Amino acid sequence: MTSTASTPVHAETATLDRSRRATSETKAAYKTTEFIVYIAAVLAVLIASNMVGQDENQHDYFPADRAWLYVTLLTIGYMISRGLAKAGSHTVDDA
């Protein structure tokens, strides 16, 4: 028994002209766990700043300006992490 046909297994799909879908390798920012962790950390900092009280000398342990500095640092860290996540990816345009 000899086989004379040398067609691929999926010959019917190999001949179709399919357009390629343009995608990137990274997920949308709101779908990542780093975004969820970022939001949780920002909320934790702001809630902690609000909840921490004053000592007996009326000195605030965690003032609002320090909390917003921490939120800014968290934002910078998040932006760097997203930049690193997208550094190796490329977007293919259909144009």
Q: Yes or no: say if 83 and 29 are a contact pair by the CB < 8 Å rule.
A: no
How far apart (Å, rounded) are the C-alpha atoms in residues 46 and 43? 5
Q: Which tens digits make up the pLDDT trace of 47-67?
A: 999 888 777 777 888 888 999
Segment 20-47 mean pLDDT: 80
How many residues can be counted in the chain?
Answer: 95
Provide the whole-model pTM.
0.60
Query: Domain boundaries in the chain?
Result: 26-86
Q: Which residues contact 19 (CB under 8 A, 6 or more apart)?
A: 94
